[in-house]
Amino acid sequence: MIQHFNLPSGENMAYRYLPGEGPVVLFLPGYMSDMRGGKAQAVMAWAEARGRACLLLDYTGCGQSEGVFAEKSLPLWRDEVIALLGGLGIERVVLCGSSMGGWLMLLLAEALGARVAALVCLAPAPDFTDWGYDAAQKALLARGETLLQDNPYGPEPTPTYAKFWKAGQQSLLLARGVAFDGPVRLIHGQADPDVPWEVSLRLAAALRSADVQVLLIKDGDHRLSRPGDIALLLRTLGELPEQA
């Protein structure tokens, strides 16, 4: 059942919470995605079948949450997710991110510290506001304009808003390192046209943790939503160390 949490901003965030055992598996969707996606639903079904606790959510400005997407940013979503966890009384989580959700996952891991038991991510895209745009596109965004790009996944162009881009540039992680010490599992397709698989290798090097594994799928695309891809994600969640 979809519920709504009233944030300090006054906006309502849509979420679905399944109580259960162990740290709560929190799924973080990608850019302009929401909890109705196949990977999020698969994670919830996996948790339900095993009596595990799970939390799905829509970022404000997305899905069934309130808000205007053009006004949102990664740091804002980080703070809103932390507020939701506090409102639900959730103390410990396994963060499971997809694409942009992997960048948000890292920001949350640093903010929550020991409350995060483990990280699992599909096609993590940290710092994509930096490496994902050319000089002309960055100049346009720096002027406060909106960048529209062809969308291979739908009929409407994909917008990047200046506020989101600027906040992303202030939240870069790969060069400075990521202060997280727990288990990390990164899954990336080597046929990903959107996020180069080498980004996962850079992230593995940037993480402070010594328990980092990178799983490469030779013919995997960006979405990694085929049955075999999702099966690997769920198997990876199930094989985390017991303390996670």
Q: Could you list the active site residues?
A: 99, 192, 222
Q: Angle at Cα 203 formed by Cα 198 and Cα 209, nearest 5°?
A: 140
- Taking the C-alpha atoms of residue 2 and residue 15, their distance in angstroms, rounded to an integer, is 6
Are the CB atoms for 11 and 65 separated by under 8 Å?
yes
Who contacts 22 (Cβ-Cβ below 8 Å, separation ≥6)? 52, 53, 94
Instruction: Give the alpha-carbon dihedral of 178, 162, 128, 148, to 10 degrees.
Output: 160
Pair type for strands 116-122 and 184-189: parallel
